[in-house]
Structure 1
């Protein structure tokens, strides 16, 4: 493994740790509160906090396993139902994001699923005030096309993440927050395709990718 790959792996791990710190920290806080609490109603609330935090942690780990990992055990194709479940879990019950799912294949190549999940992650992060997330995948004779549209009030789009997705980010500017986007660009490029984006008005963005079938 080259030094560059080690550095990239470190950045990706930093992103994972950042995203998991909050739910894992909530688990720790819930356990501490439960140990010191004797009131039945408060203990019930502590257990609810523990349950929610454990579910959030598990949902994020499942998502990151498919989006960032090698997704071992699935072979060369991954069931789209697993991707749908991962995205639904990442959105959760409190994000106020409506999901539109326009994926008709029962399974898709691993690279397609990874690109789709990473683009969806960018879109979810941008929907800071909630909104709508539409995900579509179409197979053609020679390629697979992914289209993701995020729409919501005060959409928060990080220009450096978009630059990383499209392969326009200077290598020296790579950071933990842009590492997943850069990985998405590399996966798409290795699959004979690329990632593109465009704004659709003030409160919407389109993210797309094409990979060879």
Structure 2
């Protein structure tokens, strides 16, 4: 493993730990409350909160397994229902975001699924006040084409993430926040493809073209 790979893996792990801290912490707090609480109604409420935190934790782990990991258990092609279910589950925990899908293929290469998930995550992060997340993917002329549009009353987009997407951010400038986008730029470049993004006050639009083979 190269120094670059080690640095990227370290930063992706940091991002995963950061995102998992809240639901796992809620589980720990809930268990402490449950151990001390005697009132039946309050214990019932604690159990509901524990179930919610456990579900959120499981949803995030499944998402990151495919978004950051090697996607073991899948062949070279992944059914589109898999990433769709992962994004829908992630957004289900945020009632302020609505997801719309336009999928023109029944399956996508692993690399395309990884790009779709990570662009979706960037879009979700950008919708700090909620909004709509439109996700499209198709295969044509020997390439996977992916587009993600996040639109809402306030778009929060770190310029460094944009630099990571277009490949202009150096390895020395990487952080756990920009590492996923940088990973996508490297993946797209390796396949002879590319990433694009456009930002306005109302929307963030990101696209990717990934040639196959």
> Does the alignment reach a TM-score above 0.5?
yes
1:7 matched to which residue of 2? Answer: 7
| d(CA) in 1 for partners of 2:122, 2:4 | 24
1:108-127 mapped onto 2 (5 Å cutoff): 108-127=108-127
| d(CA) in 1 for partners of 2:79, 2:21 | 29
1:75 matched to which residue of 2? Answer: 75
Structure 1 unmatched runs, 5+: none
Q: Is the 8 A contact 2:78 2:109 kept in 1?
A: yes
C-alpha offsets along residues 152-184 of structure 1, whole Å, 9 cap, x if unaligned? 111101110111011011221111111111111
How far has the Cα of 1:192 moved from its partner? 1.5
Worse-matched range after superposition: 91-100 or 57-66: 91-100
How far has the Cα of 1:104 moved from its partner? 2.8
Worse-matched range after superposition: 74-83 or 95-104: 95-104
1:39 matched to which residue of 2? Answer: 39
Superposition RMSD in Å: 1.0
What is the TM-score normalised by the length of structure 1?
0.96
Q: Is the 8 A contact 2:104 2:139 kept in 1?
A: no
Report the count of equivalent residues. 212
1:45-64 mapped onto 2 (5 Å cutoff): 45-64=45-64
Structure 2 unmatched runs, 5+: none
Q: Is the 8 A contact 1:127 1:155 kept in 2?
A: yes
1:207 matched to which residue of 2? Answer: 206
| d(CA) in 1 for partners of 2:106, 2:140 | 15
How far has the Cα of 1:44 moved from its partner? 1.1
1:1-213 mapped onto 2 (5 Å cutoff): 1-199=1-199, 201-213=200-212
What is the TM-score normalised by the length of structure 2?
0.96
| d(CA) in 1 for partners of 2:127, 2:159 | 15
